[in-house]
Amino acid sequence: MGRFLFFLGILALAVAIAVFLLSILRGIWVAGQDMARPPARGGNGGRMTPNGIQKLAYAALLVVMFGVTTGAIGGL
């Protein structure tokens, strides 16, 4: 029973990661489509808004931080 719950947890984690990555890729795709369109008047007032590359950088940062703290990447 313990192994079943372990594998069920791993499967749930894999699905959560897949959904997270797909949302990032969708954001990148939408940002690319927005950049292909001509700019609209007014815009967002010059505010900085998160784009796909920034989201991807945050995701990579989380992966590296998790890997370092668990020892999977360069740990002792």
Cα–Cα–Cα angle for 44, 47, 51, nearest 5°? 90
Tokens standing for residue 22? 């797909």
pLDDT of 52-69, one tens digit each? 777 888 888 888 888 888
Digit-coded pLDDT (tens) for 4-54: 888 888 899 999 999 989 988 888 888 877 777 666 655 555 555 667 777
How confident is the model at residue 73, as a pLDDT?
Answer: 72
pLDDT of residue 48: 59
For 72, the 3-state DSSP assignment is coil
Residue that the structure tokens 């505010």 belong to: 47
Q: Which residue has the higher pLDDT, 73 or 44?
A: 73
| CA distance linking residue 66 with residue 57, whole number of Å | 14
* 64, 73 Cβ separation under 8 angstroms: yes
